Structure 1
Amino acid sequence: MISIVDGVKSVLQISENDPGLALLLVHLNANLKAVFNDPRSMFVSTSVREYLFDGVRFCINPQGIAKAICNQIKESGSKTIREQSDGSLAFSFFGHKNGSGHEVYEVHTGKGDPMRVLEIQKLDDSHNLQVWLNASAEGETSVCNQINGTDASAYPPFRQRGDSMYIFSADICRSVELFYQTDIQYQGIPGYRYSIGENFINDIGPEHDNECFCVDKLANVIKRKNGCLYAGALDLTTCLDAPVILTLPHMLGASNEYRKMIRGLKPDAKKHQTFVDVQSLTGTPLQGGKRVQFNMFLKSINRIGITENLPTVLMPAIWVEEGIQLNGEMVAFFKKKLINTLKTLNIVHWATLCGGIGVAVICLIYYVYQKGRVEEPPVK
């Protein structure tokens, strides 16, 4: 079961936030059944495939005013709403991402500076994003719109304990800083573990010099007076073109303003934190997990009667884990070509050092012995 909030209500919130569609809400209330397939309650059944990719269909053969409303929704250009071959519309979370991969990255080759290898220089021929608020009215690029780091397929080499590194995630339209946590062993390969810090979605606002993430696109939701969401939540409306809020799974680390109205949350850093294990010398990812949760505000929509008794609450929709693990074949290759070679070089290094010290000691003993013979007085 999924709530209409996640599909139908997403369309309603898009309409509420779009000045061109807001006037249609009065007519939409009277034509709700025709637009949304005669919903009998606030909950409808659908498959995971439809919900995530194929789309939950609505505007099926509408007539009259309902048809005009559907045309306006279609022309709004929301990426999460797509027209189907029969003229109906479908809402999905990731349908517009499925099989896309159209982003064009220009990356650094590492020539002249190996620490910058695979660092993203441009995305779709642009050095910066145009998703978040900028630093000034003149359009000076803000820290939020900067593209930093790699795409997470590889990382800079020669990692050091205590350092940090950036990755850029196109899925959430932002760069993310990862911080060293501890040393690890992955199937006999030593490495370092990195994870996200408080500056990911907990420390957001003018007091942290990143208020550019506070897009303040949603009306009448749970947020601070300055328009920023409370700790642990990030408004992705301008990124996904839908009223979606990002948190960690089970709202890990999120403000009690959001958690207090949801039952069944069991946040666990081991299960819900984003991390990556990296071989320190080469920057090769050994294993990792990108874990995020997508939420939507359940709330009353002005002029829509079916929503008038809804409380205002940040409701979880789905949480996603995207993982990577170096397989057995690659582990064996890695050990043979790098780890064993490094061990051999280490043995040679110490053997050479010990041999050199041994030769020096022998030479010293021989020198002292010869000097003693020369200075020994003759016997009379």
Structure 2
Amino acid sequence: MCGIIGGVSTLVVGSVLVVASSVISFVFVPNIIRNIIAGEVTLLDDTIQMERFKEVPFPMNFTVRVFNMTNPAQVLTGGVPVMQEIGPYVYRLYQTREILEKDGDVVVYKMHEHFEFDADLSYPYQEDDLVTIINVPFHAVIQVAESLFPYLMSLLQMAMDEVFKEFNTPITTIRVRDLLFDGITMCKNPTGLGIIACSIIRDIADNAQNIEEKPDGSLVFSILNYKQQLPSQEYRVQRGLNDPADLGRILSYAGSPFFPQWLNLTTREPNVCMEVNGTDAGIFAPFVETERSIYAINTDICRSVELRYERDSEYEGIPTVRFAANEWLLDNDDGCFCLNVTRGINRDDGCLLRGAMELYTCVGAFLIMSYPHFLFADVRYRDSVLGMHPNEENHKIFIELEPNTGTPIRGAKRAQFNIFSRPVRNIPVTQNLRTAIVPILWIEEAIDLPHEFVDELTERLLSSLQLVDIFIPVLIAACVMVLVVGVALTARARLYRK
């Protein structure tokens, strides 16, 4: 009798322990873990996370590769441009967020960026290297003038020497540093018709982020200097205090929940292309769900970028999930990214072909964004020049996140900037140019989490999670063993009694 009572007691205790351990393991423990992670990653005041949000504690690699034109004389007489990729030119990119306001769950800030050339990582390339490129400000000015002031093109043609001086040519040779930061000068002490022409060009430059007016009235074009000289517009972002899933979500940029550059001037109604959606790409919400896309905005191209789950991956022993943007990013199927103002190689309706995006309303010039080497682009773009070698692994956008904390572990934003070379009305030197989309350069903004931060992430959070992953099965197994012992004792007692 005592054996049966003991066996039943053990059986009951084992059953209770199994149920209790299961409830604790699969209900209470996950909630405790989520609360611990949320406390580590949300932007609470006076925390390490907030301090690192304000000043990113390590630089990113900002890499530039310039397209050198190897046959400029032939191009001027109608030849196909032959492009040679030169680089990498590697810069250490330092980012800080200037906090302007904190109001409950919302933080308002501006982003500041600073570039430092890394001679070691760039070797043997140097900023003083000379490259022969399509003359970007030359084509940008004459193409915008042709669109906005067609009746003044004859005047502009007569004033070209006064406007561009030694850069009055469709193709130019220039230092890499000048192209990126120091600039190409226009309208330096013009006389006669040049004064009138430069007045028109200053009107154009008012909306061009890459053209800066100097105190003496001259204009300087550069690709990247505006990023270093000026802070971003204001971000209004959630801190994740009320709901960790909202961490980093941008409520507005430049005072608006939309990018106005893509407003349809006919309907005047917001559209999907205008949505400010996602984060600033430096922070993501924890508890990543691979079934859902993640979003980040790219202010250089005035749009949100969607990244979809691609595969599980790993970085220095840390399990990660990889999201990427593929051919659909620049497929132009939404229609609202078609401005129908950039003339070159177009569809019948005036939009650009697949794999390219107009940037006129974003940068104030007829620049075109694509993936590097025209990855995923219509073959007509790739074939309009020679020397393109697209490769998915090296040229598409991706990011790898630690799925529990949402920490960016590894990733790269990549974009190529191009401009059409084509004949322009009343500009004789352009009349023999073949219509082609000519690449200028492509850039990569990359992150690889440094070793010390990998170790910290592993020690502070992931090791604890791994211990929990081990502890829960062991706990449940031990309780099951008690249950099994109870069953065995009860069965043995019954047999003994019979």
Instruction: Provide the TM-score with structure 1 as the length reference.
Output: 0.91
Q: Determine the structure 2 residue equivalent to 1:93.
A: 223
> Which residue of structure 1 lines up, in the alignment, with residue 110 of structure 2?
none
> Which residue in 2 is equivalent to 1:104?
234
Q: How far apart in 2 are the matches of 1:212 and 1:235?
A: 11
Which residue does 1:346 correspond to in 2? 469
The CA distance in 2 between the partners of 1:41 and 1:370, in whole Å, is 102
**What is the CA deviation profile of residues 263-304 of structure 1, one whole-angstrom value per residue up to 9, with x for unaligned ones?**
111111111111111111111110001111000000111111
Partners of 2:294 and 2:143 in 1: CA distance: 36
Report the Cα distance in structure 2 between the residues aligned to 1:64 and 1:251, rounded to whole angstroms: 43
- Counterpart position of 2:276: 147
Counterpart CA distance in 2 for 1:90 and 1:363 is: 85
Q: Distance in 1 between matches of 2:488 and 2:358?
A: 75
1:61 aligns with 2:189: yes
Kindly provide the CA deviation profile for residues 232-272 of structure 1, in whole angstroms up to 9, marking residues without a partner as x: 11111111111110111111111111111211111111111
Distance 1:119 1:306 in 2: 49
Work out the CA distance in 2 between the residues paired with 1:6 and 1:224: 24
Q: How does 1:200-349 map to 2 (within 5 A)?
A: 200-201=329-330, 203-204=331-332, 208=333, 210-219=334-343, 221-349=344-472
Does the 8 A contact of 1:32 with 1:38 survive in 2? Answer: no
1:28 and 2:151 equivalent?
no
Cα distance change of structure 1 residues 328 and 18 upon mapping to structure 2, 3 Å threshold: same
In the alignment, does 2:142 pair up with 1:12?
yes
Are the aligned partners of 1:74 and 1:82 in contact in 2 as well (CA < 8 Å)? no
Cα distance, 1:215 vs structure 2: 0.3
User: Is the CA contact 2:297–2:304 (under 8 Å) kept in the aligned structure 1?
Assistant: yes
Q: Which amino acid aligns with 1:241?
A: G
Q: Deviations over 1:81-131 (max 9, x none)?
A: 211233321112233222322321111233443222211111122111100
Aligned-pair distance for 1:357?
Answer: 0.7
Bigger drift between 248-257 and 7-16 goes to 7-16
For residues 244 and 102 of structure 1, the distance between their equivalents in structure 2, rounded to whole angstroms, comes to 20
Partner deviation per Cα, 1:355-379 (whole Å, 9 max, x = no partner): 1111111122222333444x44xxx
Distance, in Å, in 1 between the alignment partners of 2:495 and 2:248 is 64
Matched, 1:75 2:203: yes
TM-score, normalising length: structure 2: 0.70
Q: Secondary structure at the match of 1:275?
A: strand
Contact 2:140 2:365 in 1 (8 A): yes
State the Cα RMSD in Å. 1.8
The verdict on how the C-alpha distance between 1:8 and 1:40 changes in structure 2, with shifts beyond 3 A counting, is: closer
Q: Tell me how far 1:59 sits from its aligned partner.
A: 1.3
Q: Secondary structure at 2:165's aligned position in 1?
A: coil
Count of aligned pairs: 366
CA distance in 1 between counterparts of 2:360 and 2:211 reads 14
Q: State the alpha-carbon separation in 1 of the partners of residues 242 and 465 from structure 2.
A: 24
Matched, 1:46 2:170: no
Note the C-alpha offset of 1:39.
Answer: 4.5
User: 1:212 aligns to what SS in structure 2?
Assistant: coil
Residue in 1 that maps onto 2:115: none
Any conservation in 2 of the 1:133–1:215 contact (CA below 8 Å)? no
Query: 1:287-336 CA deviation, whole Å, 9 max, x = no partner?
Result: 00111100000011111111111111100001001100100100000111
AA in 2 matched with 1:42: P
Unaligned runs of 5+ in 2: 1-130
Task: Give the structure with the larger helix fraction.
Answer: 2
Per-residue deviation at 1:162?
Answer: 4.2
Give 1:345 deviation, angstroms.
0.9
Q: In the alignment, is the contact (CA less than 8 A) between 2:309 and 2:324 conserved in 1?
A: yes
Q: Give the CA deviation at 1:227.
A: 1.8
Equivalent position of 1:168 in the other structure? 297
**Higher mean C-alpha displacement, 29-38 vs 92-101:** 92-101
Aligned with 1:359 (options 454, 478, 482): 482
Contact 1:214 1:228 in 2 (8 A): yes
Closer/same/farther in 2, CA of residues 40 and 16 from structure 1, 3 Å limit: closer
Higher strand residue share: 2
Q: How far apart are the structure 1 equivalents of 2:139 and 2:132?
A: 11
For residue 227 of structure 2, give the secondary structure of its aligned residue in structure 1.
coil
Distance in 2 separating the partners of 1:35 and 1:138: 39
Larger deviation, residues 232-241 vs 26-35: 26-35
Q: Structure 1: which 5+ runs fail to align?
A: none
Which residue identity does 1:357 align to in structure 2? V
Relative contact order (C-alpha < 8 Å, sep 6+): which is higher?
Answer: 2
1:157 touches 1:280 (CA, 8 Å); kept in 2?
yes
The worse-fitting range, judged by mean Cα deviation, of 184-193 and 54-63 is: 54-63
Rounded Cα–Cα distance in structure 2 between residues aligned with 1:138 and 1:216: 15
> CA–CA distance in 1 between the matches of 2:169 and 2:326?
41
